[in-house]
Chain A
Amino acid sequence: MKILVCISHVPDTTSKINFTEGDTKFDTNGVQFVINPNDEFGLTRAMWFKEKQGAIVHVANVGGLETEPTLRKALAIGADEAIRVNTPATDGYSVAKQLAHVAKEGAYDLIIGGRESIDYNGGMVPGMIAKLIGANFVNTCINLEVDGNNATAIREIDGGKETLSTSLPLVVGGQKGLVEESDLRIPNMRGIMQARSKPLTVKDPVDTNSETQTVSFQKPAPKGAVKLVDTVDELIDLLHNEAKVI
């Protein structure tokens, strides 16, 4: 089985979010970039397939040179090969178009992305890839088994979960549950050394357009101070008469 894991390069979860150039650009100053957490669950599940079922795992990212440390980290975790499509990630559709091309060229059986990236929260790239290449798709995937050409996936639904069976090629939008947090891997020295000699191919982008573009960013209005209460009676009174939520 050939697996492609799509890796989004995102600000780490504790990053302070600021903008520059008249609130039109994300301020990367002092921001640490990481593998998107949802993608990391997918990458770890792919490692499981590699170790248990002999799968080949490639990772791909659409972005500039600055995303290569993130791809190297994925190689250090155990991916066999990395691909960077050398163009800025401008919107979900253009990223999906580039990755769909990579997916098609590489004839992957399974393509794993994250439910959403934690920067733009678009949640559209895996689904779009699936539609563009005519593969099946499962979103919010919390468990995945593959047996030959058949896959069984569990997805999260409101208030529970649903088990689906389908065939490959399959695209999943994954999240926590694909593996547990405790199974996530921290690259060790050996992995880091090996990653240096693993192939990281830079590909030219295919022709595509962006369907959406950011005009500007805004930060939420500053919050008023908390109202502290001493008794539960006071709290109930405020929730009823002031906030009107009970």
Chain B
Amino acid sequence: MSVVVYTESEEGKFKKVAFEAVSYAKGIADTMGTSVTAVTVNGGNASELGTYGAAKVLEVSNDKLQNFNAEAYADVIAQAAKKEGASVVILTSSVNSKFMAPLVAVNLEAGYVPNVTELPSSTSPFRVKHSVFTNKAFSITEINTAVKIIGLAKNAYGLKENSAAGTAEAFAPNLDAHDFDMKIVSVDKATDKVTIADAEIVVSGGRGLKGPENWAMIEELAKTLGAATACSKPVSDMGWRPHSEHVGQTGKPVASNLYIAIGISGAIQHLAGINSSKVKVVINNDPEAPFFKAADYGMVGDAFEVVPQLNEKLKEFKAQNA
């Protein structure tokens, strides 16, 4: 019995979601009286995972796994879970985790619950809370199988330091030909930009910005804040911004610490995608815009006046607080 957690990394460095997942795994392990084993694939320094509570780190280093591959990574995790006699497996809510989670679940004959927001309210029976109806509600769900798989929602649990050994052990899973049936032809990724998935702050623009030529001020504001840029659906439908920036029910989910919505009305489908962001700021010239009901802070004003001002003042603020 142990809690096995998959820790995501990129170019040999752990992602923040990896530390959050280990923190959460440690929370469960403590209530169940067991310990945390982390699994890394070409990952970073095992002791970093120890900081958040990993007692043991199974390190897979394999050139064939340089790029994420759902089938092979799912096999790695399932084999690690079997080796450790895991009763709980923790994954995250990243695009890659969600890709492989159902494969791991079938492999381990384990019940899987995604978008989990809290530690289990009970471990026997095993009950967890997770968001459903695109963040409009929560479900308390019981997992009936011997092994349980949890997909932790991003930014829901936070980082909790909890020092453990983080002792590394090499792990060489058996991979077969089927694991490599999917061949990567090309990867097209903007490396110089903060991605919506990783961003702590997201600056988002809607149809109120009138046209693609006005996005420079959004990008500048995002640059000042170290934020990712996003947009509402009509904006991407009209081709003002790439589809990858469309957030909402049919677009990307955003679970950042701060979401700044500029010239976005706050339609229910848009809100569904950003509800799990912690602090929401709305800038809109219509005091009746529905977004004000969902926001923490609001400013009624013309984006074309407010945004450049905000950017200038934030630059000053950053300079003073650097």
Residue positions of A touching B, CB distance < 8 A: 11, 13-14, 17, 19, 37-38, 91-93, 96, 118-128, 130-132, 134, 136-140, 142, 152, 155-167, 175-177, 180-182, 209-220, 223-224, 226-230, 232-233, 235-236, 238-240, 243, 245-246
Contacts and interface: CB of A to CB of B under 8 A. Distances in A.
Contact of A232 (B103, B186, B196, B299): B299
A123 B94 CA distance: 12
A135 to B, nearest CB: 9
A37 B273 CA distance: 14
B31 interface: no
Nearest to A225: B293
B32 to A, nearest CB: 19
B139 interface: yes
B140 A216 contact: yes
Q: Is the interface of A mostly helix, strand, loop or mixed?
A: mixed
Interface string B255-289: 00110000000001100100100110110000000
A149 B92 CA distance: 33
B321 to A, nearest CB: 8
B99 A235 contact: no
B249 interface: yes
Contact of A243 (B96, B269, B297): B297
Interface in B175-234: 178, 181-191, 193, 195-198, 200-201, 225
Given A118-B249, A245-B257, A229 B297 contact: yes
Chain A to chain B: the 6 pairs with minimum beta-carbon distance, closest first: A127-B102, A160-B189, A211-B111, A159-B195, A131-B106, A124-B102
B110 A215 contact: no
A215 to B, nearest CB: 5
Contact of B95 (A140, A163, A211, A223): A140
B24 interface: no
Given A131-B102, A164-B184, A164-B185, A215 B127 contact: yes
B66 interface: no
A235 B301 CA distance: 13
Given A158-B197, A217-B132, A239-B258, A212 B142 contact: yes
Contacts of A124: 101-102, 105, 112, 114
B237 A226 contact: no
A144 to B, nearest CB: 13
Contacts of B181: 136, 166-167
Contact of A159 (B112, B193, B309): B193
11 contacts: A13-B249, A118-B249, A140-B98, A162-B187, A164-B184, A213-B141, A213-B142, A229-B299, A239-B279, A245-B257, A245-B279
B44 interface: no
B98 A181 contact: no
Contact of A235 (B189, B269, B310): B310
